[in-house]
């Protein structure tokens, strides 16, 4: 496991550059703003990105993935990159199905997952689903301030660093591994306050129990979706199978600018809602229901609406 000063964007770069070489073919799913940004990073790092695009509000098209994997007899695809939970649209992807596809065709591609808004809130099984690199950030389900990117790498991913030719310095796993062997834990100046905060956050999670944390997120998410329905509004996520338990994107009527709802919530109620991003700008607002949140606080949000 590696801890970087930075955000999930830095963790993205570290995951890619430590396991892949420029020109490597990767399959990546474009389903919203954050998957779009990760794809942009992949392209700027000179990978050969095979983009599978879905309408915003839909999950990753895994049928297309299955076709690409079945056709790739020469194993030219080196990695599958997927955002587990797309916060721009409130969509959660099925990681278990990705693993089943890779195993069915005995394909050796690395499985890289953005778990920024899912890890420690949604069901996430790194070993069972054969995930090679899982990454998250401090500011989501861990409930810390922004500033720490966290990566967990499988033995297969660590082996890939030996042949990966991408340029890397600050995010190089080998620097961390070298210091681990020396008995220390950080090759650069660490953020002590975030480490203390992480210790406290993990204590809270362990006290509640991770299964209970996941179940709590499920309850709060269902309550949020029921409230949206009671308001006469629609969920941006187009199918129940993709509903996110950490964020709900709410579609507003066409005569309303959703950014005005966000501004009013902040100015009048000191309530922070998420703006619609890119293709859904002005069309949706987002309710986050993850991290250190309970039923009472969520009810307060609902009444304010």
**pTM passes above 0.75:** yes
Q: Look at residue 141 and give its three-state secondary structure.
A: coil
The H or E element spanning position 195 is: helix 192-208
- pLDDT value of residue 292: 87
pLDDT one digit per residue (tens) for the chain, 305 residues:
999 999 999 999 999 999 999 999 999 999 999 999 999 999 999 999 999 999 999 999 999 999 999 999 999 999 999 999 999 999 999 999 999 999 999 999 999 999 999 999 999 999 999 999 999 999 999 999 999 999 999 999 999 999 999 999 999 999 999 999 998 878 998 899 999 999 999 999 999 999 999 999 999 999 999 999 999 999 999 999 999 999 999 999 999 999 999 999 899 888 889 999 999 999 999 999 999 888 887 777 665 55
Relative to beta strand 148-153, strand 91-92 is unpaired
- pLDDT value of residue 303: 59
- Per residue in 31-89, pLDDT (tens digit) is 999 999 999 999 999 999 999 999 999 999 999 999 999 999 999 999 999 999 999 99
Residue 225 to residue 303: CA distance in whole angstroms: 14
* CB-CB contact of 75 with 19 (8 Å): no
Query: Residue 88 burial by CB count (10 A; 0-12/13-18/19+): exposed, middle or buried?
Result: buried
* Phi, psi dihedrals of residue 82, rounded to the nearest 5°: -145, 140
Residue 143 to residue 125: CA distance in whole angstroms: 20
Residue 37 to residue 7: CA distance in whole angstroms: 13
């Amino acid at each position: 496991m590696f801890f970087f000063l930075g955000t999930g964007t830095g963790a993205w770069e570290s995951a890619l550059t430590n396991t892949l070489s420029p020109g490597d073919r990767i399959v990546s799913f474009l389903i919203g703003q954050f998957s779009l940004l990760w794809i942009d990073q992949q392209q700027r790092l000179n990978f050969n990105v095979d983009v599978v695009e879905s309408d915003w509000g839909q999950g990753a098209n895994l049928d297309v993935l299955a076709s690409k994997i079945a056709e790739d007899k020469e194993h030219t695809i080196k990695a599958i990159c997927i955002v587990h939970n797309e916060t721009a649209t409130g969509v959660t992807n099925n990681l278990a199905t990705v693993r089943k596809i890779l195993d069915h065709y005995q394909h050796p591609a690395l499985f890289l997952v953005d778990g920024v808004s899912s890890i420690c809130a949604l069901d996430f099984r790194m070993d069972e689903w054969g995930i090679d690199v899982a990454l998250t950030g401090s500011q989501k389900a861990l409930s810390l301030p922004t500033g720490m990117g966290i990566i967990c790498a499988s033995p297969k991913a660590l082996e890939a660093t030996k042949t990966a030719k991408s340029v890397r310095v600050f995010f190089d796993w080998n620097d961390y591994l070298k210091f681990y062997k020396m008995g220390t834990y950080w090759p650069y100046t660490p953020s002590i306050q975030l480490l203390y905060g992480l210790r406290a956050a993990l204590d809270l999670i362990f006290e509640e129990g991770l299964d209970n944390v996941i179940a709590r997120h499920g309850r709060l998410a269902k309550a949020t979706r029921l409230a949206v329905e009671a308001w006469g509004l629609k969920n941006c996520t187009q199918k129940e199978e993709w509903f996110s338990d950490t964020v709900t994107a709410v579609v507003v009527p066409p005569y309303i600018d959703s950014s005005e709802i966000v501004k009013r919530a902040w100015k009048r109620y000191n309530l922070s809602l998420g703006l619609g991003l890119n293709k859904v700008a002005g069309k949706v607002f987002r309710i986050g229901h993850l991290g250190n949140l309970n039923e009472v606080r969520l009810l307060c949000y609902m009444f304010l609406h």
